Every structure is written in structure tokens, then in C-alpha cells.
Amino acid sequence: MAIAIVVVLLVIGSVIFHFASPWYFTELASNWGMIDATVDITFWVTGIVFILVNLFMAYSIYKYRHKKGQKAEYEPENKKLEIWLTVITAIGVAAMLAPGLFVWGQFVRPPDNSAIVEAVGQQWHWSYRFPGEDGVMGTVNASLITPDNPFGMNPDDPNGQDDILVSNPEVYLPLNQPIRLNLRSKDVLHNFTVPQFRVKMDLVPGMVTFMWFEPTRLGSFDVLCEELCGIAHHAMRGKVTVVERPEFEAWLNAHPTYAETAARAAGNRDIGQGLYQACAACHGFAGEGRKELNAPKLAGQEGWYMARQIRNYKNKLRGVHPDDIYGQQMAAMAGTLVDDQAIANVIAYIETLPDEPAPVTVTGDADRGARTYETCAVCHGESGQGIWALNAPRLAGMSDWYLAVLLAHFRDGVRGAEPGDFYGAQMAQMAKRLSNEAVINDLVAYINTFPVNSPARVSQAQ
């Protein structure tokens, strides 16, 4: 008896939940309104079946519950009824399937006027490639991927020379332009999803997959990875920003072609030495870092990492939070490096500085820290050496007090909270777990145990 009432209440409750709860599709931002329409059709058909079958069941339970002297009917089967039910079900199924297949037919054929864009996935970030003026993508090969050629471009392919490379998880797309998004992965499976666009597709290493859509609404939309791709899967984020065409063109033209990146002059360490004098005041002449001035050690840090941070400071992605006092100072100083060449020069010089391990200033329980570090090790390396492919800087032998400060900053949203600082946001998401200072100190204490392959450390060991 109670079960009949409860079934009715659950049906009513589910329907109310469906219509009254605030949780439903995000506002559409692409041409795929037809997908929403098929979802709606499916909701109506299945909803009606859900209500009718359950109410019939509840009524049967109520009406035919056991009472004294009650006898059940003996009816092995009823062919006519079965046939009717089969036919009605088949019609309902067809009503859902037909529009579904029709819309799928649209999805598998990108329109002829689609612009080709490539999204490249790797653990755990996105980058993009545009075909450039010739409209043809150059060939790529995973075996050609190096820190200097992160897209794995084939240097001998003339089609690839004018390809525009966007080494950033954010991409701009023009409004009302059908996009054929080619998808490629460098390592494992990923999936490119923008919930507002409704469509998604996996990235499969070794092949190029695709999907298409036409952005129909201005705005910035999150890109999520929706195929489990390792421990930072949930932190693999990007952004699609839909803008009017002129703004898009301007954005695109600000990015280098492959030929430009390949021809980019290496940093000049002699010029860099001159530039470095401004840095030396705080970071020390040997880049050894000075805690009393809140300047971390630079010597031995990965060049690509320092270059990105200088650009972040310049582009107001770092050093803008009011609590980040020293970051604000650095942001001001970073402005003195006028362009990418200047940055490259100064980094070329820093790379020549002797890599002495920074002094140990943080103490904690290294054994406990080792447990926490298991997660960090995936990106930063088992011995904190840093891994360029994962955008993870070196930790071993760097200023430990600075690590401790930064971890707290990441956790508290002082760093990594600026929109556009994707790698910072990733670290911020990871640092949320470091609940208190003791946990951070333990972790840093463990990082302090890593060997550093500097001549000084080696000679000390002997």
C-alpha cells in the first residue's frame, strides 16, 4: 500500500524536480539548437512513458494488493495486447530515433565553408593551430615533438610554414563562422568539450578526429577535457572566446607562424647580462636568490618557465592580486623587458649562472611530505626536476621558502586566480589540498631532500 503511494509521489516529485530545479542545460552558444530539440523530444517521449507505466504500476499495486479471499486472474498471455504494445513502443522509439539520425547526419558532414582549426591536447593543457594564409595545415609527426617544436611540425613541409601556432589554452573564434575543429593528441586520449556548444569529440593519439560547430553567441566559454587522461584530468582546462571577426583577425595576427617561431633568434647572453643587472639587485648576481628581499633563486630554473612568468607579469596575469606585494614589485620590474627578444636574452644569461642548491630554510617532516608529493611528482618529476611537456617547473634545489610562500598563495587564490593564467589555475586547483602550513612545510622539507646535479652538490657529497 505504502509502496503504491510512494511510487506516485516519486513520479510527481521527479516531474517537479525536472521542471522546477535550477539545473538544466547551459544557454546554447552554437548552431546546435537541433540537438537541444532532440533532447526535448526524448524527454517528452520518455517522460510520458515514465509517468504512465509507473502510475499504472502504482494503481495495480493499490487495486490488487492482497485482501482476504482475493484471487488472481489466470491469463498466460494476450497476443493482441502484446502486439499493440510492441507497435506503440516501436513508434515511440522511431519518433526519437528519426530526428536523432537526421541531426547526426548534419554532424558528420561539416559545411563546405567551414574554417579549419586544430586543437591539440596533451597532458594537461590545450594549444591550437590555424592553417594560415594558404588554408592548408602542414603535416605533423609526434616523433618530431621537442621543447623547440612543441607542435611536432614537419620543418620540410611548405604548407606548414605559415601555420599559426597558439601555445595557449585559450583560443579566439569568430562569430557565426562554421568551424571544423580538427583534434589531435600528443600523448593519451582527451576530449574537447564546450558545454555551451553541446558537441564533443575525443582526441586520439595517432589520428586526427574532428567535429564542427558554429559559434552563435559572443563570450568566453570553458573548454573541458571529458575523457579521463591521468591524474590532472579535472584540471585540464582551456577557453574559447567568441568575438567579432575584426577582433578575431587582430588576435590571430598577434600569433607567430611556424616559420617565425623556427627562425626566432636564440637569446643573446651578452645582451642578457646587461639586462640582468636590474634583476641582480634583488635576485643576486649569481641568481642565487635573497630571502631578505623576497627574491627567489633563478639559477638552474627552466628557461621556458621563467620566460612565461615574465610574460605573465607583463600581461597582468601575475602580480596583480593585492595580497601579492612582492609580485606587484616584480610586475613593475618585468615591464623593463620590452619584448620577447629581451626576455630570451636575459634568460639566456640566467641559464649560464652557476646552479648552487639554495640553502635549506624550511623544516618539516619529510616523510609525511613524501606522501603529499606523490601527486606533485606526476608533473614536477619524481625528484622535482621539472618537466617541460607538463609545464611544471623545477623544484629541486630552488628557494624552499619561496616554494612555501607560493604554495600558500596558490591555495589562497593569491596566485593563479587571474583569468587567462591557465597553468597557475591548474596549480591552484592542486594546491587546494594543502590545508595548513604544517602540510606545506612537510612537503617543502621533502622537496629539500632531492639531489641536485650541480658540481657543487656533487663535490660536497664527495
Partner 1 sequence: MAYVAIADRDHEQHLHDPQTFITKYIWSQDHKVIAIQYSLTAIFVGLVALVLSGMMRLQLAFPDVFSFIAPIEYYQFITMHGMIMVIYLLTALLLGGFGNYLIPLMCGSRDMVFPFMNMLSYWVYLLSVIILLASFFVPGGPTGAGWTLYPPQAITDGTPGAGWGIMLMLASLAVFIVAFTMGGLNYVTTVLQARCRGMTLMRMPLSVWGIFVATVLGLLAFPALFVSAVMMVFDSLLGTSFFMPAILDRGEQTAFDGGSPILFQHLFWFFGHPEVYIVALPAFGIVSDLISTHARKNIFGYRQMVWAIVVIGGLSFIVWAHHMYVSGMNPYFGFFFATTTLIIAVPTAIKVYNWVLTLWRGDIHLTVPMLFSIGFLFTFIHGGLTGLFLGNVVVDLPLSDTYFVVGHFHMVMGISPIMVVFAAIYHWFPKMTGRMFNQTLGKIHFWLTFLGAYSIYLPMHYLGILGVPRRYYSMGTTDFVPESAQAMNIGITYSAILVGVVQLVFLVNIAWSIFRGEKADPNPWKANSLEWQTPDTPPKHGNWGPDLPVVYRWAYDYNVPGAPEDFIPQNTPPDALHPAGRDHGKAH
Q: 115-122 and 179-185: which strand pairing?
A: parallel
Residue 245 dihedral angles phi and psi, to the nearest 5°: -55, -45
Give the per-residue contact string, 127-166, with partner 1 (x = CB under 8 A; - = no).
--------------xxx-x---------------------
Q: Is 282 in the site for partner 1 (CB under 8 A)?
A: no
Q: Which is nearer to partner 1, 175 or 231 (CB)?
A: 231
Q: Is 437 in the site for partner 1 (CB under 8 A)?
A: no
**How many angstroms separate the CA atoms of 383 and 272, rounded?**
30
Q: Is 336 in the site for partner 1 (CB under 8 A)?
A: no
Give the per-residue contact string, 388-417, with partner 1 (x = CB under 8 A; - = no).
xxx---------------------------
Q: State which of residues 5, 12, 60, 361 lies at the interface with partner 1 (CB under 8 A).
A: 60
DSSP structure string for 192-252: EE-GGG--EEEE-TTS-EEEEE-B-S-EEEEEEE-S--STTGGG-EEEEEEE-HHHHHHHH
Q: Which is nearer to partner 1, 32 or 450 (CB)?
A: 32
Q: Is 205 in the site for partner 1 (CB under 8 A)?
A: yes
Give the nearest distance from C-beta 128 to partner 1 in angstroms.
Answer: 18
Q: State which of residues 164, 165, 229, 344 lies at the interface with partner 1 (CB under 8 A).
A: 229
Contact criterion met (CB below 8 Å) for 38 and 104 = no
Give the nearest distance from C-beta 446 to partner 1 in angstroms.
Answer: 14
Per DSSP, the three-state class of 181 is strand
Kindly state the helix (H) or strand (E) to which residue 442 belongs, with its residue range. helix 437-447
Q: Is 57 in the site for partner 1 (CB under 8 A)?
A: yes
Q: Is 199 in the site for partner 1 (CB under 8 A)?
A: yes
DSSP state of 356: P
DSSP state of 284: -
**How many angstroms separate the CA atoms of 447 and 135, rounded?**
48
Among the residue ranges 128-136, 188-196, 244-252, 307-315, the one whose residues contact partner 1 (CB under 8 A): 188-196
Q: State which of residues 117, 183, 242, 344 lies at the interface with partner 1 (CB under 8 A).
A: 183
Q: Is 39 in the site for partner 1 (CB under 8 A)?
A: yes
Q: Is 25 in the site for partner 1 (CB under 8 A)?
A: yes
**How many angstroms separate the CA atoms of 191 and 205, rounded?**
11
Q: Is 427 in the site for partner 1 (CB under 8 A)?
A: no
Q: Is 301 in the site for partner 1 (CB under 8 A)?
A: no
Q: Is 182 in the site for partner 1 (CB under 8 A)?
A: no
Q: Is 321 in the site for partner 1 (CB under 8 A)?
A: no
Contact criterion met (CB below 8 Å) for 186 and 122 = yes
Q: Would you give the distance in Å from CA 32 to the centre of its chain?
A: 23
Q: Name the grid cell of 367.
A: 616523510
The neighbour count for residue 446, using CB atoms within 10 Å, is: 21
Give the nearest distance from C-beta 3 to partner 1 in angstroms.
Answer: 5
Q: Is 207 in the site for partner 1 (CB under 8 A)?
A: yes
Among the residue ranges 26-34, 339-347, 399-407, 445-453, the one whose residues contact partner 1 (CB under 8 A): 26-34
Which residues are bridge partners to 192 per DSSP?
201, 225
Adjacency order of strands within the sheet including 190-193: 170-174, 237-243, 219-225, 190-193, 200-203
Give the nearest distance from C-beta 373 to partner 1 in angstroms.
Answer: 10
Give the nearest distance from C-beta 126 to partner 1 in angstroms.
Answer: 15
Q: Name the grid cell of 30.
A: 552554437
Q: Is 235 in the site for partner 1 (CB under 8 A)?
A: yes
Q: State which of residues 254, 270, 432, 458 lies at the interface with partner 1 (CB under 8 A).
A: 432
Residue 10: closest CA among 48, 46, 58: 58
Contact criterion met (CB below 8 Å) for 153 and 137 = no
Q: Which is nearer to partner 1, 161 or 185 (CB)?
A: 185
Residue 147: closest CA among 387, 354, 366, 358: 387
Give the nearest distance from C-beta 338 to partner 1 in angstroms.
Answer: 31
**How many angstroms separate the CA atoms of 421 and 442, rounded?**
27
Give the nearest distance from C-beta 292 to partner 1 in angstroms.
Answer: 33
Q: Which is nearer to partner 1, 206 or 322 (CB)?
A: 206
Q: State which of residues 20, 70, 292, 322 lies at the interface with partner 1 (CB under 8 A).
A: 70
Q: Is 53 in the site for partner 1 (CB under 8 A)?
A: yes
Residue type, 76: P
